[in-house]
């Protein structure tokens, strides 16, 4: 039975001739540097943030006129091809968040003054929510989706090297090592992502963007090999209820269905892990004698003080729940460091289930990504041995790169030790993956974590802070009862409406 069901766990399922995984932002920006100049009809960008000063090929020196700044690249493309439709739809972030990004993207408009580049700041979200989708579409022929924004503090290599001067920012400081993952697809799947952009633009600007005629050129970057061929791609979204439109919760449904159908390994990379619904679904699988391993890799602590106050504290409770359920020793949670011990920011949002399903997108494993913020992700489900091996290779590569090993080394160690957790223990000789543990919290921390302050499950929930805990944990208890009753696929039976309305 397919996990990807249009209208339930995904919006659409469309064919792609090629799919590739771009591990870390160097790979993403290298792809951009090749794709953008190939555009013939359109360049569409959806983003949480955007900074035109972002360099696609940083060299360790940041000057005032670097030609690889993405803003300059787009302006030059617009100058040379006036008929090229370039549209950037970026969330109009709240002032505190904008201040942390040097008041970008708000200041970005001046870059495109007197050009044909259209940058629009999108505020069509409920109070307190954000547009969090990160999508690039070129000519409706190639699309990239994942967790990375085009901002000055995102670039890094898969080596996450200590003291890498190429992580330099315009203020001449270097940002911390950072891990991101994107997925790139072509064909009808890319065209569907173009449809997604046009829907967003119409909702924000009240303007219909016509679909451009197809081109005969292929913007796929030559330097990026396809990791999977001839496959269907699921597109899943979160869209909050807004001005009479119902909430879309495909990502939350897909997450629960993914957990429910896993047989061997659930691998999770995510910036946040605060959802008690997801935690309970995972706990139910850990309590099964023959259930799957669960491997979680996240950041030791969030970069911003607000997220440290809210998300990190709520995560402690989720870790406690999973450790309590881990009676068979199949739960493993880590945070990565560089060879010298510097924390690596894990900003990726990746789920790999067995060697069957790979999901890459913008959604975190928190409450708000399931029904309050605007999210998008791509999912590929293997239908043959070759694509199954590709999904397993992605998981092994991601795990291995944190420890300085290849994916093949992880696969070999897993075969030798009989489990993914055993493989990590064997290879983690330098301690570059450290155990992620619950933290001690005072009275304020307990209050924030208990009521999930800053992390509502949907629009209605956002106005009822002190009822949030009861709703979320009642849904978790009902999930436990379904599992205890032996109901198949119990995790997927907890609908998003029942999460916040107690039904």
Output the DSSP codes for 341-401. Answer: -PBPEE---EEEETTTEEEEES--BSSHHHHTSBEEEEEEE--SHHHHHHHHHHHHHHHHH
pLDDT of residue 500: 44
Phi/psi for 400 (5° steps) reads -65, -40
pLDDT of residue 111: 93
- Please count the other Cβ atoms lying within 10 Å of the Cβ belonging to residue 438: 17
Which whole number is the average pLDDT over 184-213?
96
Residue 347: pLDDT over 70: yes
Phi/psi for 377 (5° steps) reads -150, 155
Distance in angstroms (rounded) separating the CA atoms of residues 24 and 22: 6
- Is residue 480 very low, low, confident or very high in pLDDT (cuts 50, 70, 90)? low
Output the DSSP codes for 243-292. Answer: TTBPPEEHHHHHHHHHHHH-SSEEEEE-S-B--HHHHHHHHHHHTSTT--
Distance in angstroms (rounded) separating the CA atoms of residues 48 and 153: 14
pLDDT of residue 58: 96
Report the percent of the chain where pLDDT is more than 70: 91
Q: Which residues contact 488 (CB under 8 A, 6 or more apart)?
A: none
Cβ(309)–Cβ(441) under 8 Å?
A: no
- Is residue 485 very low, low, confident or very high in pLDDT (cuts 50, 70, 90)? low
- Please count the other Cβ atoms lying within 10 Å of the Cβ belonging to residue 170: 16
Residue 288: pLDDT over 90: yes
Residue 484: pLDDT over 60: no
Q: Which residues contact 484 (CB under 8 A, 6 or more apart)?
A: none
Residue 496: pLDDT over 90: no
Which whole number is the average pLDDT over 208-230?
94
Output the DSSP codes for 446-461. Answer: HHHHHHTTT--SSHHH
Distance in angstroms (rounded) separating the CA atoms of residues 32 and 308: 32
For residue 191, give the H/E element and its range. helix 187-205
Report the percent of the chain where pLDDT is more than 90: 78
Q: Please report which residue ranges of 404-491 form alpha helices under DSSP H.
A: 407-417, 420-427, 443-451, 459-462, 465-484
Looking up tokens 């107690």, which residue turns up?
Answer: 502
CA atoms within 13 A on the CB side of 378: 33
- Structural domains for the chain: 12-230 (3.30.870.10), 241-501 (3.30.870.10)
Tens of pLDDT, residues 88-125? 999 998 777 777 777 788 888 999 999 999 999 999 99
* Residues recorded for the chain: 503
Task: Supply the DSSP symbol for 43.
Answer: E
Q: Please report which residue ranges of 8-136 form alpha helices under DSSP H.
A: 25-35, 70-80, 95-100
Distance in angstroms (rounded) separating the CA atoms of residues 483 and 257: 14
Looking up tokens 């995102």, which residue turns up?
Answer: 154
Cis peptide bond prior to 237, omega within 30° of 0: no
* Long-range pairs of 149-152 with CB within 8 A, sequence gap ≥ 24: 149/47, 149/48, 149/49, 149/50, 150/32, 150/45, 150/47, 150/49, 150/50, 150/51, 150/54, 150/70, 151/49, 151/50, 151/51, 151/54, 151/101, 151/104, 152/51, 152/53, 152/54, 152/55
Cβ(114)–Cβ(152) under 8 Å?
A: no
**Which residues are registered as beta bridge partners of 182?**
22, 146
Lowest mean pLDDT among 112-116, 362-366, 439-443: 439-443
Tens of pLDDT, residues 6-45? 999 999 999 999 999 999 999 999 999 999 999 999 999 9
Residue 404: pLDDT over 60: yes
Residue from 233, 273, 344 nearest 11 by CA: 233
Which whole number is the average pLDDT over 285-312?
90
pLDDT of residue 449: 67
pLDDT of residue 300: 94
**Which residues are registered as beta bridge partners of 45?**
88, 136
Phi/psi for 75 (5° steps) reads -65, -40
Lowest mean pLDDT among 143-147, 155-159, 336-340, 384-388: 384-388
pLDDT of residue 441: 66
Residue 194: pLDDT over 70: yes
Looking up tokens 């209050």, which residue turns up?
Answer: 447
Residue 474: pLDDT over 90: no
Distance in angstroms (rounded) separating the CA atoms of residues 313 and 274: 9
């Amino acid at each position: 039975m397919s996990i990807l069901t249009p209208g339930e766990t995904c919006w659409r399922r469309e064919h792609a001739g090629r799919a590739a995984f771009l591990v870390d932002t160097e790979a993403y920006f290298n792809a951009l540097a090749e794709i953008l100049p190939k555009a013939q009809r359109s360049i569409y960008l959806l983003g949480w943030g955007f900074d035109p000063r972002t360099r696609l090929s940083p060299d360790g020196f940041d000057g005032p006129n670097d030609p690889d700044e993405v803003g300059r690249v787009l302006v030059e493309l617009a100058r040379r091809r006036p008929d090229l439709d370039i549209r950037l739809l970026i969330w109009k972030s709240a002032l505190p968040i904008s201040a942390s990004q040097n008041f970008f993207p708000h200041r970005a408009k001046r870059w495109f003054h007197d050009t044909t580049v259209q940058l629009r700041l999108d505020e069509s979200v409920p109070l307190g929510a954000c547009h969090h989708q990160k999508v690039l579409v070129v000519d409706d022929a190639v699309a990239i989706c994942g967790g990375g924004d085009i901002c000055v503090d995102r670039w890094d290599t898969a080596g996450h090297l200590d003291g890498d001067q190429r992580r330099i920012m315009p203020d001449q400081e270097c940002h911390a090592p950072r891990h991101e993952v994107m997925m790139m697809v072509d064909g009808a799947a890319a065209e569907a992502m173009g449809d997604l952009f046009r829907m967003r633009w119409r909702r924000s600007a009240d303007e219909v963007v016509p679909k451009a005629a197809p081109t005969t050129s292929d913007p796929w970057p030559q330097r990026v090999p396809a990791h999977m061929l001839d496959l269907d791609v699921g597109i899943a979204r979160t869209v909050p209820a807004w001005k009479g439109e119902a909430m879309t919760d495909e990502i939350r449904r897909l997450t629960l269905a993914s957990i429910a159908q896993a047989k061997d390994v659930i691998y999770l990379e995510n910036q946040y892990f605060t959802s008690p619904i997801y935690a309970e679904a995972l706990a139910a699988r850990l309590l099964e004698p023959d259930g799957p391993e669960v491997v979680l890799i996240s950041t030791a602590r969030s970069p911003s003080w607000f997220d440290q106050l809210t998300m990190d504290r709520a995560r402690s409770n989720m870790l406690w729940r999973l450790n309590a359920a881990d009676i068979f020793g199949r739960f493993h949670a880590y945070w990565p460091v560089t060879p010298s011990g510097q924390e690596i920011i894990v900003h990726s949002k990746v789920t790999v289930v067995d060697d069957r399903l790979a999901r890459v997108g913008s959604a975190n494993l928190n409450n708000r990504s399931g029904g309050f913020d605007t999210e998008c992700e791509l999912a590929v489900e293997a239908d043959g041995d070759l694509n199954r091996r590709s999904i397993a290779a992605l998981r092994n590569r991601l795990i291995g790169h944190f420890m300085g090993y290849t994916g093949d080394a992880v696969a070999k160690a897993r075969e030798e030790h009989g489990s993914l957790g055993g493989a990590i223990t064997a290879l983690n000789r330098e301690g570059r993956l450290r155990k992620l543990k619950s933290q001690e919290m005072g009275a304020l921390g307990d209050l924030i974590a208990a009521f999930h302050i800053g992390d509502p499950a949907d629009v209605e929930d956002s106005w009822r802070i002190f009822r949030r805990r009861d709703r979320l944990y009642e849904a978790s208890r009902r999930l436990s009862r379904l599992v205890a009753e032996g109901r198949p696929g119990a995790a997927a039976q907890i609908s998003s409406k029942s999460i916040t309305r107690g039904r």
